[in-house]
Structure 1
Amino acid sequence: MWNKRKIAAVIDHTLLKPVATQRDIERLCNEALECGFFSVCLNPCYVPWAAKLLEGSGIRVCTVVGFPLGATTIRNKVLEASEAIDNGAAEIDMVINLSLFKSGAEDYIRRELKEIIQTAKTKNKDTVVKVIIETCLLEEQEKLILTRLALEEGADFIKTSTGFNGPGATVEDVRLIRQVVGDKAGVKASGGIRTYSDAVKMLEAGANRLGTSSGLSIYQEAPE
């Protein structure tokens, strides 16, 4: 059973709204401390502050790169990831360049993955890199191709969605990604996970991390 302790341990407690304030981020971090969430996921400008607030707690700081469209250049994404790690981020959720992928530039996508993942691991070998493929904008074959590319280039997790471009995670997409990666990488379901029931469905489908802005209510709904 996914009790409070177990479900908290797989939640990236998330706040990526463009108008999130310092007070909101402080609340996010305090909730993570109270509930024992795995990490907080927030925009890059708040990484230094969150890292200070959570120092010594064991709760990781996660941030986003190329978010939410993925359409910035490789150099910009590399710099963004590098600075975030210098500022205290332990996990990087990067958005793949879907525009160029759909244009057929598979070699570019592979290079983007390679450079960002290598940068992160060189900075700190324990940095976790999650690749957001934005499943709601992809056909099934495209989901398979991007998942395999990310896996081959060393991604630690494949993440379904940003939550900013239509529907988020679905049970079917989580199951599909898990079938491709097996036990070679993690699967992060993200977007639209608002209830304990939603969370359990994603975990049973094969997710082993959840990105949600409803972490507190999911935790409160979970059994003791």
Structure 2
Amino acid sequence: MAHITVDTLTYTQLAKSFDHALLRPEMTTSEVVLGCNLAARYDVKSVCVKPCDVRLAAETLAGTSVLVGTVISFPHGNSPTSIKIAESLQAIDDGATELDVVINIGLLRGGEVQKVEDEVRAVVQAAKKRYLGVLIKVIFENAYLSREEIVLACKLTERAGAEFVKTSTGFAATGHTIEDLRLMRESVSERIEVKASGGVKTLDQVVAILQTGTTRVGSSSTDKILDEFKRVRGL
């Protein structure tokens, strides 16, 4: 993936790496609709909305190629497993096809790795029983984790059957780092994809992210980044 540059990327390749984030707690219904319309206009991969906005996003994006994703136990990951499952099933019923699930960070940091793995597996199995095609991304919140804990989180996520490992919620003190993305890519098999989020604001950042083998980028600056790409490429 190191050969990726602004000049080698097509607009579609870049746009389809974006999960357009619509997660600000103060975001209104009309702002969610505007954000979904922006995502459709730029033809990104998905929107990532708050659970309460999933049905609205699904209705707004009906007939487009933009997928609807949401967050589970966001941003701290502290809900009981039963609530994470219930929230996941509700999101699927409302029209989400991608779920970004926050792990129980405290359990992981306390060395209770099996409990974390069991919880992720329970969410994955329940969600896929409801809708087999649902895609599960597991959020680690790397700002709170050591390198060793990030590796453990990668391994347990893969064993539990999820499809993605993800760096951050965007609500911690720090977000993605290139070092963390490389570590995560090295710590999972090719079956697992990597998502960067938290502090993604420029085209240069996105190119550097994609060079690590990361395939998805969560950002609320999607339009600015894609507009910058068009300017640079003269599109």
Structure 2's unaligned 5+ residue stretches are 1-7
Alignment partner of 1:181: what SS? coil
Q: Which amino acid aligns with 1:59?
A: V
Q: Counterparts of 1:159 and 1:206 in 2: how far apart (Å)?
A: 13
Q: Counterparts of 1:113 and 1:182 in 2: how far apart (Å)?
A: 18
Q: Counterparts of 2:169 and 2:225 in 1: how far apart (Å)?
A: 19
Cα pair 1:4 1:220 within 8 Å, conserved? no
Q: Counterparts of 1:144 and 1:100 in 2: how far apart (Å)?
A: 15
After the TM superposition, which parts of structure 1 deviate over 6 Å for at least 4 consecutive aligned residues?
none
Structure-to-structure mapping, 1:31-180, within 5 angstroms: 31-180=38-187
Task: Report the alpha carbon displacement of residue 110 of structure 1 after superposing the two structures with TM.
Answer: 1.3
- Report the counterpart of residue 219 of structure 1 in structure 2: 226
- Report the counterpart of residue 196 of structure 2 in structure 1: 189
Q: Counterparts of 2:24 and 2:145 in 1: how far apart (Å)?
A: 24
Aligned length: 224
Q: Deviations over 1:92-123 (max 9, x none)?
A: 00000011122222221111111100111111
Q: Counterparts of 2:77 and 2:9 in 1: how far apart (Å)?
A: 33
Q: Deviations over 1:166-192 (max 9, x none)?
A: 111111111111111131111000111
Alignment partner of 1:129: what SS? strand
- Report the counterpart of residue 200 of structure 1 in structure 2: 207
Q: 1:6 aligns with which of 1, 13, 18?
A: 13
The TM-score, its normalising length taken from structure 2, stands at 0.93
Q: Counterparts of 1:3 and 1:170 in 2: how far apart (Å)?
A: 24
Report which stretch shifted further, 52-61 or 186-195.
52-61
Structure 1's unaligned 5+ residue stretches are none
Q: Which amino acid aligns with 1:7?
A: L
Q: Deviations over 1:123-148 (max 9, x none)?
A: 11110000001111110000000110
Task: Report the alpha carbon displacement of residue 40 of structure 1 after superposing the two structures with TM.
Answer: 0.4
Cα pair 1:187 1:208 within 8 Å, conserved? yes
Task: Report the alpha carbon displacement of residue 15 of structure 1 after superposing the two structures with TM.
Answer: 1.3
Q: Counterparts of 1:140 and 1:104 in 2: how far apart (Å)?
A: 14
Cα pair 2:72 2:101 within 8 Å, conserved? yes
Q: Counterparts of 2:160 and 2:114 in 1: how far apart (Å)?
A: 12
Q: CA RMSD in A?
A: 0.9
Q: Which amino acid aligns with 2:193?
A: G
The TM-score, its normalising length taken from structure 1, stands at 0.98
Task: Report the alpha carbon displacement of residue 3 of structure 1 after superposing the two structures with TM.
Answer: 3.4
